[in-house]
Homo-oligomer: A and B are copies of this chain.
Amino acid sequence: MRLSRGQMQAFEQQGFLVLPGLFTPREVEVLRAALAPLFAEESPANVREKLSGEVRTAMGLHLRSPAYAKLVRHPRLLAPAFQLLGDGLYAQQVKVNVKAAFEGEAWQWHYDFATHHHEDGVPEPLALNLHVFLDEVNEFNGPLYFVPGSQRHGPAPCELDSVSTSYPLWVVERATVAHLVAAHGIVSATGAAGTALIFGDCLVHASPPNLSPWNRRIFSLIANPIANRQTRFARPDYKHHRDFTPLTVLADDCLVAAAAA
């Protein structure tokens, strides 16, 4: 797994990359099978929807599940991150974002660095968000909407929103969103289960609720250079991990070898 020069340039320009079929159906099945017991846990690391009580985000998963402990060290997921950032990275946040069929709510326009910077004192917008689709993500079940190229404007003005949804979020002001969208438009990131998606810390994104009867579960590892680690420690470990050991890779078949063992 190595990004081509074209992919590196596209990431620079657009702020994200979609990598279809990065994980096999069998690997996805291993990751899916691990979720039900994790979601059933009564844990503050399981953030639930305001209305339905369904799990919206299950966090700290590499510390709660052998399969996800392997995924955060998977060579196909980490190689692009090492290529873009170098290899001194720690696992800043590890989660599965769920949009349950009929229930999953919207995320307002935001970019990840706003929260990492304001809440955790991360100095620079260097972190990468590495996603793996655990379900097909399509137009109807709550895909991520990106403003491609918005990261090139640097960190956008934002404000803390603790009203709209079940998770307090630093959101981008509407006038700024309108300005960026007028320049760059909006694209949605869709694909089959097993697709990976990489995007940077300043890319402005949102996602609509899931009105469809199809679940939409996406794994997310935020990998941040150790040299750029958090400087404030107000949030719990599951929201920003304090283990700054560099991520290293396991074997390419680690997910399925584990399942067979």
Query: How many residues on the A side are at the interface (Cβ–Cβ under 8 A)?
Result: 22
Residues on B with beta carbons closer than 8 Å to the beta carbon of A109: 211
Q: Mark A173-204, 1 if CB is under 8 A from B, else 0.
A: 01001100110001010000000000000000
The answer, yes or no, to whether A106 is at the interface (CB within 8 Å) is yes
Contact with B along A148-175 (1 / 0, CB 8 A): 0000000000000000000000000010
Which residue of the partner chain B has the closest CB to A176? B213
One complex includes copies of this chain to the number of 2
Main secondary structure of the interface of A (DSSP, over half): loop
- The residue that A209 contacts in the complex, of B102, B140, B181, B208, with Cβ under 8 A, is B208
A244 in contact (CB, < 8 A): no
Q: Does A228 contact B (CB under 8 A)?
A: no
A101 at interface (Cβ–Cβ under 8 A)?
Answer: yes
Q: What are 22 A-B contacts with C-beta separation under 8 Å?
A: A101-B178, A102-B174, A102-B177, A106-B211, A108-B211, A109-B211, A139-B139, A140-B145, A140-B186, A140-B188, A145-B211, A177-B213, A178-B213, A181-B212, A181-B213, A181-B214, A186-B212, A206-B211, A208-B208, A208-B209, A208-B211, A209-B209
Apart from A102-B177, A186-B212, A206-B211: 20 A-B pairs, beta carbons within 8 A: A102-B174, A106-B209, A108-B211, A109-B211, A139-B139, A139-B188, A140-B145, A140-B186, A140-B188, A145-B211, A177-B213, A178-B213, A181-B212, A181-B213, A181-B214, A182-B213, A208-B208, A208-B209, A208-B211, A209-B209
